Amino acid sequence: MSNDKLDIEFKDAVDRVNAHTEPFPADTLLKLYAYYKRATNDYGKPRSKKPIINAFKTNALFQTENISEDEAKQEYINLVNNYFLYRK
Question: pTM for this one?
Answer: 0.90
Q: Do the Cβ atoms of 75 and 67 come closer than 8 Å?
A: yes
**Buried/exposed code over 9-39 (b: 16+ C-beta within 10 A; e: otherwise):** bbeebbeebeeeeeeeeeebebbbbbbbbbb
Residue 40 belongs to what domain range? 3-86
pLDDT score, position 88? 58
CA dist., res. 30 & res. 14, Å (int): 14
- 60, 34 in Cβ contact below 8 A? yes
User: Structurally, how many domains does the chain consist of?
Assistant: 1
CA distance 38 to 20: 22
pLDDT in tens, the chain (88 residues): 778 999 999 999 999 999 999 999 999 999 999 999 999 988 777 878 888 988 999 899 999 999 999 999 999 999 999 999 877 5
What's residue 2's pLDDT?
Answer: 79
Domain harbouring 24, CATH code:
1.20.80.10
